[in-house]
Amino acid sequence: MSTVPLRSDIQASDTWDLSPLYTDDAAWEADFAALQSEFPEITNFRDRLGSSPEILSVCLEFERTVDIRIERLNQYAALKVTEDSSEAKSLDREARLEGVMVRVGEAVSFLAPEIQAIPDESFEVFLSSPALADWTIPLKKLRRLKPHILSAPEERLLALGSSVVHGHSETFSQLTNVDMKFGKLKDGAGNERELTQSSFSSFLQQRDPAVRKAAFHQFYAEFSDHKFTLAAGLANAVRGGVFYARARNYPSAREAALFADNVPVSVYDGLISTVRSNLNPLFEYFDLRRQMLGLDEIHHYDTYVPMVDDVQSDVPWDSAVDKVLSAVAPLGDEYTTVLAHGLRGGRWCDRYENKGKRSGAFSYGTFTSPPYIMMNYKPDVFSDVYTLAHEAGHSMHTWYSQRSQLFQNYHYPIFLAEVASTFNEILLTDHLLATTDDRRMKAYILNRQIDDLRGTLYRQTMFAEFERDTHAAEEAGEALTLDSFQRIYRNLLNAYFGDKFALDPELDLECLRIPHFYSAFYVYKYATGISAAAALARQVTDSGDASRYLDFLRSGGSRFPIETLASAGVDMSQPAPVQAALDLFARRVAELREILS
């Protein structure tokens, strides 16, 4: 019987090395104490920011030192909780930091209102001062928010309430990653394994349809037992977003979310309309999948198993690293050398699942630390090689931005982050297709890219519609209940899967288990990201020149994302990149059909 190991059973070489952040918990506690004694000094600048550029500069530099310290403290605390979400010491550390961060937010809440209160003419003089030369970009971005910055007392109240309003996300994480138990299940080889948030994907890739079906129903039975609690949490997440949008005088929660990146609503709506007009290739793919798997009808739990079996499906960690490094070779020696060190001796990555560990994968970098990667790598799930390439893209984006931008400009927006990650996945597919003559392997890889495009472009756009519709319902005064969530989601399932797809009733509950829904208007960036990435990857492979792409990685958050991508050669204000990605999907489906025939 296979069981999930304890954290203490994992070899140190397979875990991340957090010593570049803090050598031990005691070092974190010392820095935490320093933060508590340091941050109140920022109130000494209250009512003085408009007096001179020099005073404003000193204040901003002080805030920067506080922010860098908070960033490191928060990263360490978050990564320790990720290791084991049931570890009381880690949870206590994170909770204490969160409490102090609320107090920091309260202390600095006067900054934005005071800066916004500087008269326009004086503000232009400030921007031309050498004292603020390093702060021109963030100050211009802040000034753009002027219509949505409140008075100092109002900003203080919003800061005080932030952790309360956003608490639903932590509740969701604890419930689904720690409290919910999914039992055990026999895999296709007859081995009993624990069903978890992480192993669920492995079960869905089993060749035996009975195993996939059993895993699906057993998994969602647990969600059904908690569906009213989860629906209440999701409703509060939506209400929290609407509350902040209204408090800051935005027309809607969606526009509030897009405003910071200066992304027009037309980009969001254009994505949905373009994808909606290209659903037929998706339906054709589902039917091809049904035929190749020998199914009378296709269910959602049949959409993840590879259509081609008898190919390599056991990829150890070191082999996965080799594949990724070979794929990104067009980006040059510096890129590959740094990444190779990080994934091996540098111990950037926490590789394998353990009890209590957060499900999924992510990359988390700060200005002064390595860009850490969290995975639950499984050698028998080939898509995990793609996940590694994906997270490596994020990490190298952080690495280049750290070294090219000031702290205040290095944070790249999520809109751009998903470009760097999916770019690597596209290079990986091109590399794998070019290095095999085996027709079945080619079919397997084509199937992988098709599923990647399906999951990232089609599926995330469906999710984006769900977020748009649920927030619009709340803004229109409609009730957000379990029934209304399921109704909205069922309509989307019908649209995106077609009338030849067998939709199990339990699938309506999927809307309650998507973590991003508890922090809305993120998922559309996956879809726009893969569209931009496909265009950039084509540029690099066609020209053999990665310089524009590497400049894109170095740009960090120094410009708004649409402008940054335009400089790299991709115009996301138009539907062309999305359409090109959809055309790639249709072309790959045709290629796969030809090979399989």
Q: Are strands 362-364 and 372-374 parallel, antiparallel or unpaired?
A: antiparallel
Residue-level pLDDT at 313: 67
372-374, strands of its sheet edge to edge: 349-350, 372-374, 362-364
Tell me the CA distances in angstroms from 356 to 50, 196, 201, one per residue in order: 50, 10, 17
Active site members = 391
Residue-level pLDDT at 412: 94
CA distance 147 to 153: 16
Residue-level pLDDT at 368: 94
Residue-level pLDDT at 597: 83
Q: DSSP for 528-552?
A: HHHHHHHHHHHHHHHH---HHHHHH
132 burial via Cβ count (<10 Å: 0-12, 13-18, 19+): middle
Residue-level pLDDT at 152: 82
Residue-level pLDDT at 213: 96
Residue-level pLDDT at 160: 84
Tokens of 443: 């079919």
Residue-level pLDDT at 165: 79
Residue-level pLDDT at 117: 93
- Local structure of 369: helix, strand or coil: coil
Residue-level pLDDT at 253: 97
Question: What number of CA atoms fall less than 13 Å from residue 572's CA on the CB side?
Answer: 33
CA distance 197 to 223: 11
The number of angstroms, rounded, from the C-alpha of 59 to the middle of its chain's C-alpha atoms is: 32
Q: Please check whether residue 385 is in contact with residue 355, taking contact to mean a CB–CB distance below 8 angstroms.
A: no
Residue-level pLDDT at 481: 97
Residue-level pLDDT at 43: 95
| Residues of the chain scoring pLDDT < 50 | none
- Mean pLDDT over all residues of the chain? 94
Instruction: Give residues with Cβ within 8 angstroms of 491, minimum separation 6.
Output: none
User: First and final CA of the chain: distance in angstroms?
Assistant: 39
Tokens of 579: 């359409």
- Local structure of 264: helix, strand or coil: coil
CA distance 46 to 114: 8
Tokens of 246: 């209204």
- Write out pLDDT tens, residues 505-533: 999 999 999 999 998 998 999 999 999 99
Fold classification of 7-165 is: Butyryl-CoA Dehydrogenase, subunit A; domain 3 (1.20.140)
pTM: 0.83
φ/ψ of 166, rounded to 5, equals -95, 10
* 466: nearest Cα among 478, 451, 484, 454: 484
- Local structure of 354: helix, strand or coil: coil
